[in-house]
Amino acid sequence: MIDMVRRGRRRWWKASLAAGAAALIAGTTLAAASPADAASTLGASAAAKGRYFGAAIAAGRLGDSTYTRILTTEFNAVTPENEMKWDATEPSQGTFTYTNGDRILNQGLSNGSKVRGHTLLWHAQQPGWAQSLSGTALRNAAINHVTQVASHYRGKIYAWDVVNEAFADGGSGGRRDSNLQRTGNDWIEAAFRAARTADPGAKLCYNDYNTDGVNAKSTGVLNMVKDFKARGVPIDCVGFQSHLGTGIPGDYQANLQRFADAGVDVQITELDVAQASNQANIYAAVTNACLAVSRCTGITVWGIRDSDSWRTGENPLLFDNSGNKKAAYTAVLNALNAGTGGGTSPVDTSAWYVLVNRNSGKAVDVYNLVTTDGARITQWTRNNGNQQQWQFVDSGGGYYRLKSRLSGKVLDVYNKSTADGGAIVQWTDNNGTNQQFSIQDIDGYIQLINRNSGKAMEVQGASTADGGNIVQYADWNGTNQQWQLSKVG
Ligand code: XIL
């Protein structure tokens, strides 16, 4: 059943990518979608713009058929509202409970959705035992928590909110006081490093509220991001909760953009808007802002129906208590369908990416830094070196070569083999069909299908070892055939 759902999604993606490619071949620039080709759900419409549209969901509501109908129809990303928080996953020290977190995960994966992990460390919703710890004991417990939980979900999570709400409100731009902060200012970077080690394929985000416009708090977060980037602390994204009242900061988009310019993806992670006459307009403004920022990868609303919301009485969501679409829903869908943001290319051809294998967590690597034709390509522990950085070069028609930053050569199915197990090497770029790959999306990971052979690039034998060979093999949807793109330059 799961496979059928996934296969169905993949065909849909292939069709949509092909349509985009056709538009490019015809030389047309993408204009606003006409009603005839406008998508009719939030997820499909966002996907057509290269983005996701998600909802926070609660394991306890999955038995509600109206809820799950809307969830599976409209959304292509999920966040556990509470089920992956510290009090839920480690209720007593060293004892981990993943039952409800796994329910959310499986709901998302079986529906072909991205899963955002929320959240590894936060000052709130800590288990009692952690609240009573301090100093080294707390620091060690916190880092162990990050390692254990991120390891449990390794390879399954699109993005983790590694740290939530660590900055103070008001004008200081500094950290919030908390038991975690009192273990030392480096607790956040320690958490990010532990998360990267535990799950190298997940995007690692910092998430906060009241950072939705340019203000002292968001500037403090931005300065942390720049500092992390400068010192090589792994951070890939910043989440903007966007629990909005009856207004939206005028510099909302500009604020997202300044984070994107600092080299991180941005995501709207917990959107809800107090119900008033302008609710629909505010929802549309947030959607338009995300579409206008190329590194804004998606939007998540914090619940499905008003009756599911944590903001009781404010009716801040897109569906009413009965599951009917509100004006705010229509405003978001129209904004998504009208938007030109994102184009049709699934990749940024000006960027350099590390390709992380979903099964092994290791990166595609030019073995031993060789720069000659025929050098073998293997997987290796991710180190972000030039031998692990790849640029997508557009061959047209939805096909791309992958150029090594180290050697300038491209991935090539050796000798134009069409056999299972055919080696993938690097070779001088001649734009041959054995050097071209189409890109297909599965749950936020990609598959690379060779144009000449029709086979998928994979880690041979699902190896998890350094030096495991990269070869082609018939596409069977294996996790060793799936890659997460991590933009590094
Ligand atoms: C909220 C949940 O929605 C509630 O069910 C729970 O009682 C408290 O937490 N910022 C966050 C979210 O990062 O985790 C919070 O979720 C809302 C504020």
Amino acid at 447: Q
Least confident stretch, 6-20, 57-71, 185-199, 237-251: 6-20
pTM: 0.68
How many whole angstroms separate alpha carbon 285 and alpha carbon 293? 13
Q: Which of 298, 306, 241, 299 is nearest to 274 (CA)?
A: 306
Mean pLDDT of 470-477: 89
Q: 404 pLDDT band (50/70/90 cuts)?
A: very high
Whether residues 422 and 296 fall in one domain: no
Whether 23 maps to a domain, the answer reads no
Q: Residues with catalytic annotation?
A: 165, 270
Whether 455 maps to a domain, the answer reads yes
**pLDDT score for 36:** 40
Whether residues 190 and 65 fall in one domain: yes
- Atom of ligand 1 at shortest range from CA of 164: 13
Whether residues 125 and 83 fall in one domain: yes
Q: How far is CA 460 from CA 10, 382, 456, in A?
A: 23, 18, 11
**pLDDT score for 29:** 31
- Cα-to-centroid distance, 81 and ligand 1 (Å): 6
Whether 74 maps to a domain, the answer reads yes
| Last residue of one domain, picked from the residues 276, 304, 338 | 338
For 262-318, write each residue's pLDDT tens digit. Answer: 999 999 999 999 999 999 999 999 999 999 999 999 999 999 999 999 999 999 999
Torsions phi, psi for 209 (to 5 deg)? -115, 165
Q: 250 pLDDT band (50/70/90 cuts)?
A: very high
Whether residues 367 and 328 fall in one domain: no
- CATH code of the domain in which 121 resides: 3.20.20.80
Q: 37 pLDDT band (50/70/90 cuts)?
A: low
**pLDDT score for 476:** 80
How many whole angstroms separate alpha carbon 176 and alpha carbon 209? 12
Whether residues 334 and 360 fall in one domain: no
Whether residues 272 and 360 fall in one domain: no
How many whole angstroms separate alpha carbon 235 and alpha carbon 156? 18
**pLDDT score for 397:** 63
Whether 19 maps to a domain, the answer reads no
Q: Kind of pairing, strands 296-301 and 265-273?
A: parallel
Residue whose Cα lies nearest atom 13 of ligand 1: it is 164
Whether 315 maps to a domain, the answer reads yes
Number of domains forming the structure of the chain: 2
In the predicted structure, residue 420 carries a pLDDT above the cut 60: yes
Whether residues 323 and 362 fall in one domain: no
- Atom of ligand 1 at shortest range from CA of 56: 3
Least confident stretch, 19-33, 113-127, 337-351: 19-33
Mean pLDDT over all residues of the chain?
A: 90
Q: Kind of pairing, strands 399-404 and 437-442?
A: antiparallel
- Cα-to-centroid distance, 299 and ligand 1 (Å): 16
Mean pLDDT of 98-112: 97
- Atom of ligand 1 at shortest range from CA of 209: 10
Whether 174 maps to a domain, the answer reads yes
Whether 1 maps to a domain, the answer reads no
Whether 390 maps to a domain, the answer reads yes
- CATH code of the domain in which 394 resides: 2.80.10.50
Mutate to test the pocket of ligand 1, among 61, 79, 81 (most ligand atoms within 8 A of CB): 81
Whether residues 279 and 409 fall in one domain: no
Burial class (CB in 10 A: 0-12, 13-18, 19+), 37: exposed
How many whole angstroms separate alpha carbon 208 and alpha carbon 175? 12
Whether residues 294 and 432 fall in one domain: no
Both structure tokens of 329: 């829903």
Q: Kind of pairing, strands 363-366 and 114-122?
A: unpaired
**Host domain of residue 418:** 353-487
- Three-state SS string over 401-412 comes to EEEECCCCCEEE
| Last residue of one domain, picked from the residues 338, 373, 391 | 338
Whether residues 266 and 392 fall in one domain: no
- Cα-to-centroid distance, 85 and ligand 1 (Å): 10
Least confident stretch, 7-11, 168-172, 474-478: 7-11
How many whole angstroms separate alpha carbon 379 and alpha carbon 382? 9
Both structure tokens of 220: 């403090």
| Last residue of one domain, picked from the residues 338, 372, 405 | 338
Whether residues 321 and 417 fall in one domain: no
In the predicted structure, residue 6 carries a pLDDT above the cut 80: no
CB 229 within 8 A of CB 235: yes
Mutate to test the pocket of ligand 1, among 61, 78, 82, 244 (most ligand atoms within 8 A of CB): 82
Whether residues 331 and 194 fall in one domain: yes
